[in-house]
Amino acid sequence: MKKILFIVCLMFSCMLHAQTKQADVTRATLYGVGFSNLLDTYLSPQEYTGIDLRLSRESIRKSRWENITQQTFFQSNLSFTHNQIENNNTIGMLANWNYALHYNFPITENFKLLAGGLADLNGGFTYNMRNGNNPVQARIYANIGATGMAVWNTKIKNYPISLRYQINLPLMGVMFMPEYGQSYYEIFSLGQADGVINFTSLHNQPSLRQMLTADFPVGKATMRFAYVWDAQQAKVNDIKVHNYSHTFMIGFVKHFNIVK
């Protein structure tokens, strides 16, 4: 487990050293609403469905390395869900921050592909409103993974529009997860914490984040429409968790240059 933590920390450290001297920067802030499906068998064997509210902030800039772009992306979503028989509700919150480096592969003047790696941090909770002993489950995990983009700058009847598709796939990491039936009192007060930090990979955390965006000018501003499909799931310590969400987002994009 110490080797796994060392690899994850090394990945974060190496990627954060990508400082820019002069960079074209694109920043976007989006707000969205959509659908969420929650499951956490530590709290309940039932699935809960409802509304998903989401905020995201993104920054993309050229790095000091030729043909390499760095991306920082933060998003936070809040879910209000209920079970099928309408006798219980849950609240879920998850904040995600990731840092990615993409190598650019220009295909044509207006179309390019990007591929690279990312470091990813996640933290949040699921709160079951009817549970007594264990009403809350913490969601804490970190990953390193693969990421890719396709960017197409085109026009519709001389109206410019920029389309992008991005996919993020976690490959390995660590996750906090108690044993089934183990209380947080046992973990933090009695010190019975063996086995709560677990190695994750595709075999027990087959998750995926996808995003489709469209940027277009409105007057002097640039707006963005986005669709986010976020599928976070895991089976660790005999506990199944997932958070599936489909969210439509809208916001503004800013382009500027930074000299350091």
Q: Where are the domains of the chain?
A: 2-259
Three-state SS at 9: helix
State the Cα torsion 186-172-143-38 to the nearest 10°. Answer: -60
Three-state SS at 144: strand
- Our measurement of the distance from residue 258's CA atom to the centroid of its chain's CA atoms, rounded to an integer in Å, reads 26
Would the pTM count as exceeding 0.85? yes
pLDDT digits (tens, 9 = 90+) for 34-82: 999 999 999 999 999 999 999 999 999 988 888 899 999 999 999 999 9
Class of domain 2-259: mainly beta
Q: What's the rounded Cα separation, in Å, for the pair 117 and 244? A: 23
pLDDT digits (tens, 9 = 90+) for 142-201: 999 999 999 999 999 889 999 999 999 999 999 999 998 898 989 999 999 999 999 999
Using an 8 Å Cβ cutoff, are 61 and 260 in contact?
no
